[in-house]
């Protein structure tokens, strides 16, 4: 039996994301006042994705409690749709985008922080908020994966969906540069146009790898759990 019910964990994680988003939006940063605002940063987009995802998880928990023991077929039908949406978000957005943000941010940070998170930002963003945006995302989504079985779509459809998200964000980044003349991330300012193409291609490959990794990890966790239950019977 879990020490903390999964429903309580989801509520706590959702509240944590609300706190992080509120503190982030309250920052008086020059970048927030320019074209695209916070929405030009993948970190902020991912925070919104995670908050919406865990909000959906909490909504499903509440709906399960309300429909438990009832005979409302229409409610159960709507609940199944919410669960399908939750599973799709986990597969296509919450895990691959969250893992991508954490791994790529800290990899670039350790190589040369000026490429992704200039030291100037320390004057605006406290350390706890930085970790809330770039570190705790992965543990939170892994907790959700461990406590709930999520059904993944077929791999081609899943890769197509996550690829569409990646291409959409790249096009958005290029559009922001077209309008402002400034790249969202300092690393893009320091490389040649051909190197940018290679960089974007590599990032697309990385997020696809994270999608497949999430699928494999989800299947391993729940196949392993099912096997243990069978052996224990």
- Give the pTM: 0.90
Question: How far is the first Cα of the chain from the last one, in angstroms, to the nearest whole number?
Answer: 16
**Contact call for residues 100 and 212 (beta carbons, < 8 A):** no
Q: How confident is the model at residue 72 (pLDDT cuts 50, 70, 90)?
A: low
Higher pLDDT, 2 or 94: 94
Residue 151, in any domain of the structure: yes
**Contact call for residues 190 and 108 (beta carbons, < 8 A):** no
User: Shortest CA distance to 138 belongs to which of 111, 167, 102?
Assistant: 102
Residue 171, in any domain of the structure: yes
Residue 27's pLDDT is what? 86
Q: 82: which DSSP letter?
A: H
Residue 1's pLDDT is what? 39
> In the chain, how many domains are there?
1
User: Shortest CA distance to 25 belongs to which of 10, 43, 11, 13?
Assistant: 43
Residue 144's pLDDT is what? 94
Residue 110, in any domain of the structure: yes
pLDDT in tens, 171-206: 999 999 999 999 999 889 989 999 999 999 999 999
Q: 94: which DSSP letter?
A: I
Residue 1, in any domain of the structure: no
Residue-range definition of the domain harbouring residue 73: 6-232
Residue 14, in any domain of the structure: yes
> Among positive and negative, which fits the CA dihedral 188, 122, 41, 107?
positive
Residue 168, in any domain of the structure: yes
Residue 82, in any domain of the structure: yes
Residue 182, in any domain of the structure: yes
Residue 3's pLDDT is what? 57
Residue 71's pLDDT is what? 58
Mean pLDDT to the nearest integer, 16-26 = 93
Cα 56 from Cα 87, distance rounded (Å): 10
pLDDT in tens, 129-148: 999 999 999 999 999 999 99
Q: Helices in the chain by DSSP H: which ranges?
A: 6-25, 42-67, 73-89, 95-112, 127-134, 137-147, 155-180, 186-189, 193-232
Residue 2's pLDDT is what? 53
Q: How confident is the model at residue 116 (pLDDT cuts 50, 70, 90)?
A: confident
């Amino acid at each position: 039996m879990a020490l903390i019910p999964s429903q309580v964990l989801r509520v706590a994680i959702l509240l944590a994301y609300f706190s992080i988003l509120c503190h982030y939006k309250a920052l008086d940063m020059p970048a927030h006042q320019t074209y695209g605002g916070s929405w030009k940063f993948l970190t902020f987009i991912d925070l919104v994705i995670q908050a919406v995802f865990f909000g959906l998880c909490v909504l499903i928990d509440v709906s399960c409690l309300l429909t438990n023991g009832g005979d409302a077929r229409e409610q159960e039908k709507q609940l199944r749709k919410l669960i399908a949406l939750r599973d799709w978000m986990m597969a296509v957005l919450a895990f691959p985008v969250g893992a991508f943000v954490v791994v790529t941010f800290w990899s670039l940070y350790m190589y040369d922080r000026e490429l992704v998170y200039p030291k100037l930002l320390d004057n605006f963003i406290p350390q706890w908020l930085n970790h809330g945006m770039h570190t705790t995302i992965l543990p939170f989504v892994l907790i959700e994966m461990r406590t709930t079985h999520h059904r993944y779509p077929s791999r081609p459809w899943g890769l197509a969906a996550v690829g569409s998200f990646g291409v959409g964000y790249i096009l958005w980044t290029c559009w922001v540069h077209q309008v402002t003349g400034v790249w969202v991330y300092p690393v893009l300012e320091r490389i040649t146009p051909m190197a940018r193409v290679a960089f974007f291609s590599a990032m697309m490959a990385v997020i696809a790898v994270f999608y497949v990794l999430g699928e494999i990890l989800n299947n391993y966790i729940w196949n392993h759990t099912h096997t243990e239950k069978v052996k224990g019977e």
